[in-house]
Amino acid sequence: MKLEDLDISAKEALFEYLLFLGDSNLVLGHRLSEWCGHGPMLEEDIALANLALDCVGQSANFLKLAGEIEGKDRNEDHLAYLRDAIDFRNATITELPRGDFGFTIMRQFLVATYLYIIFKELRNSSFDDLKSIAQKSIKEVKYHIRHSSEWVLRLGDGTEESHKRIQKSLNELWRYTNELFVQMPQDQVLIEKNIIFDMDSSKKQWLEIIEQVLKEATLITPESNEYLYHNGREGKHTEYLGHMLAEMQTLPRSHPGAVW
């Protein structure tokens, strides 16, 4: 299926969904990039920067496609740099400040595992362009899971201090995870056309991978009744996103159309 095969309601729904994937990766990528020059060791500094670049790269693909579907002459840079927080559709877990290294790693593990499951399904999308981005991105996300899960094991089953700190990070982050699986009403249009897929089974798959690693890392999976109600897909964000965007967007907003 291609762009011209979509009716208006499908276009609108897909635009929103692509913003969700694009913005989530963009915001996560920016948070990772904040480690540049501050990593706990040189090798990990480079590793985090690599992850950041992967996320921003994926984001550019999703936002570019979103702009094409919207058809209002907004490209990926326009969407990334010239929208305000209320128009961002990222999952709120991605916008939380980077915290300590354990917090960043735990978030990466939770979100990368989620993206892995989503991309795995989107490889079967009936919409060609989305399918090809998912196929390309899944390789990167697999590495993100490998890298972050190995650190979760070492920090969880490490020293008393590292265990305590990463468990605390997990408890804080957990409250933002349910949001990842909340479907929006307009998603139904896309599900009917097999462009995206129902998330009913996704949470179970996600939890299986997460719980296996947490258990091995001697960490306790938090209770599920501690979720917060935020939904980035409705534009309801934490206070942190606006501050982050102010920094991220300052250059293109102060110097519109600037080029190298």
Partner 1 sequence: MSDNELLSVWEVFMQQKNGGPQQHVGNVHAADAELALQNARDVYARRGGNGSIWVVPSKEIYASGSDDEAPFFDPSDDKIYRHPNFYRVPKAIKNL
**Positions in the binding site for partner 1 (CB under 8 A):** 39-47, 50, 146-147, 150-151, 154
**Which residue's entry shows tokens 């309801």?**
236
In sequence order, what are the residues at sequence separation of 6 or more whose Cβ sits closer than 8 angstroms to the Cβ of residue 248? 30, 81
Least distance CB 147 / partner 1 (angstroms): 6
Token readout for 174 is: 């957990």
Does residue 25 contact residue 59 with C-beta atoms inside 8 Å? yes
Nearer to partner 1, 64 or 144 (CB): 144
Least distance CB 45 / partner 1 (angstroms): 7
Nearer to partner 1, 44 or 172 (CB): 44
Beta bridge mates, 236: 231
Least distance CB 76 / partner 1 (angstroms): 23
Task: Give SS3 for 28.
Answer: helix
Q: Tell how far CA 70 is from the center of its chain.
A: 21
Nearer to partner 1, 70 or 150 (CB): 150
Cβ neighbours, 10 Å, residue 13: 23
Nearer to partner 1, 122 or 141 (CB): 141
